[in-house]
Structure 1
Amino acid sequence: MELGLSGKVAVFTGPGKGMGPAVTEAFAREGCRLVLAGRDLQALEAVADSARSLGAETIVVPCDVTVASDTQRLAEEALTAFGTIDVLVNMAGGTGPVGKTAWETTQEEFDQIVQLNMTGCFNSMRAMLPGMIERRYGKIVNVGGTFGMRGRAGRMAYSASKWGLRGITKSTAIEAGPYNVNVNCVAPGMVDGPRFRTKVMPGYAKAKGITEDEAIAAHAAEYALRRISTAADVANACLFLSSDVSRQITGIDMPVDGGWAML
């Protein structure tokens, strides 16, 4: 299937870590021109080098998405470099407190993750949308999480922030729809990778008194497809929702979790 993304300008927030490099490189392979934004410039430059090696024109812009003036400057630099913004993929985010109940979570912890996961997406969308609306074209993909579709003990603050992002996505989809702008949310479940293997699973295994291999198998057993998602799975969902192949899809939550959130 031809996605028709070649030559499109795609802006990414938070592409330097986690699943970010895999998602970014997938767009590079499709022939997109890329704008990479985040706080860790060393990580961003590494992803940019990889994208360029795949033939993608790529620029890096320092940006803290929780600061509205930073996201406004991001939009301006993207337009200066490429003349337009076709796609925005919001990946910048955090995990918040892990293993804390609602009553153990501090206000500072709660405010911090809501600021990053909700306000950060709001700021970048607010900066990019005027140009998309003027051109009557745009694709926005917010990367949420399945804990924002089903509650999870010990992850209240994170769950709340991702649940809120769904509301931001759906309301903006309604508002931007008349201008031919699609706004959707990709909700990854547990994604295999360095963090999953070196942080999440060792902690889970220790808490349960089992081996790490048993911990991975236990997680996989929760999913209908009996396997853990990969960063490539998430990248493919982002590509689909950023293309005109999905022209009639807006305001949705797309779980990429092997069948957990919707069961």
Structure 2
Amino acid sequence: MNRLSGKVAIITGAGSGMGAEQARLFAKEGAKVIGGDMNTEGLQNVIAEIKAAGGEAIGVKLNISSPEDWQSTVKTAVETYGKVNVLVNTAGVAGPFIAKAAEHDPDEWDKLLAINLKGAFLGSKYSIPEMLKAGGGSIVTISSIAAALGGQGGTGYAAAKAGLSGLTRNIAVDYGKDNVRANVILPGQIKTPMSAVLETEEAKESKQYYLNKTPLGHFGDPSDVAYAALFLASDESKFITGIELPVDGGVMAN
């Protein structure tokens, strides 16, 4: 308990899946949470859960590819809680599960990069100045093992996720002396609404393929990623920056 006491955290994608689990856990650990999502109904349900459990949280409608939305979100965080200490870039979208480069639709490619890569850039761009005012902060970006391994997602999705690693390393180097840390989590297959496609009959073979690639023999839970994000957001990781942390059941050990 209280691993994030006194900290103010912006969490994107907080209306469902991994982002929702992070919002609940961070609030439980003492953070004041600003949850952002386009799914306002799901988001408000999560905020209500947090408040019912005694935590502090507010929800904002946030299109992560919009600079104006990001400016408004950060302004709301500062006006409500006085500062920004933590940013967790969780929101993202999946593209065509099997999309080879020569077959990839250019518009779909642009959409994947606008949400999965530009969204994290904008969140960092507008949060870092407030972290500097607060004496430092932590940026945790949820990426994917597709950033490091081929065959784990469509080409556009993998390219966007790989871009998050480059973004994170540069933030870590550029702002390290200002006590702003930046790290990436690389989840494997996690049981979320985004991965629900693997539970269909049509995807039965794909699901078994990913299970066979996972040494632990099962998919992860959103809480597995949330606890990793909690560690990287907290002062327990104060000497860790610029890393990629797999939370993948051992896939990358193959």
Q: TM-score range by the shorter chain?
A: over 0.9
Equivalent position SS for 1:220: helix
Structure 1 unaligned residues grouped into runs of 5+: 209-214
**In structure 2, what is the equivalent of residue 233 of structure 1?**
224
Q: Could you tell me how far 1:193 is from its partner in structure 2?
A: 3.9
**In structure 2, what is the equivalent of residue 9 of structure 1?**
8
Cα distance in 1 for partners of 2:93, 2:192 equals 16
Q: How does 1:54-93 map to 2 (within 5 A)?
A: 54-93=53-92
Q: Could you tell me how far 1:14 is from its partner in structure 2?
A: 1.2
Tell me: CA distance 1:152–1:81, structure 2 relative to 1, closer, same or farther (3 Å): same
Cα distance in 2 for partners of 1:234, 1:73 equals 27
Please state if 1:260 is matched with 2:251: yes
Cα distance in 1 for partners of 2:183, 2:62 equals 22
**In structure 1, what is the equivalent of residue 199 of structure 2?**
201
One-letter identity of the residue aligned with 1:31? G
TM-score (normalizing by structure 2): 0.94
Cα distance in 1 for partners of 2:251, 2:37 equals 30
The count of corresponding residues between Structure 1 and Structure 2 is 253
Q: Could you tell me how far 1:201 is from its partner in structure 2?
A: 3.1
Equivalent position SS for 2:55: coil
TM-score (normalizing by structure 1): 0.91
Cα distance in 2 for partners of 1:109, 1:151 equals 19
Cα distance in 2 for partners of 1:216, 1:102 equals 23
**In structure 2, what is the equivalent of residue 155 of structure 1?**
154
Cα distance in 2 for partners of 1:186, 1:17 equals 18
Contact 1:144 1:186 in 2 (8 A): yes
Contact 2:94 2:194 in 1 (8 A): no
Please state if 1:224 is matched with 2:215: yes
Tell me: CA distance 1:244–1:44, structure 2 relative to 1, closer, same or farther (3 Å): same
Structure 2 unaligned residues grouped into runs of 5+: none
Contact 1:3 1:244 in 2 (8 A): no
**In structure 2, what is the equivalent of residue 211 of structure 1?**
none
Tell me: CA distance 1:191–1:154, structure 2 relative to 1, closer, same or farther (3 Å): closer
Equivalent position SS for 1:170: helix
One-letter identity of the residue aligned with 2:109? F
Q: How does 1:54-203 map to 2 (within 5 A)?
A: 54-152=53-151, 155-196=154-195, 198-202=196-200, 203=202
Q: Could you tell me how far 1:154 is from its partner in structure 2?
A: 5.7
Tell me: CA distance 1:185–1:154, structure 2 relative to 1, closer, same or farther (3 Å): closer
The range that moved more, 13-22 or 235-244, is: 13-22
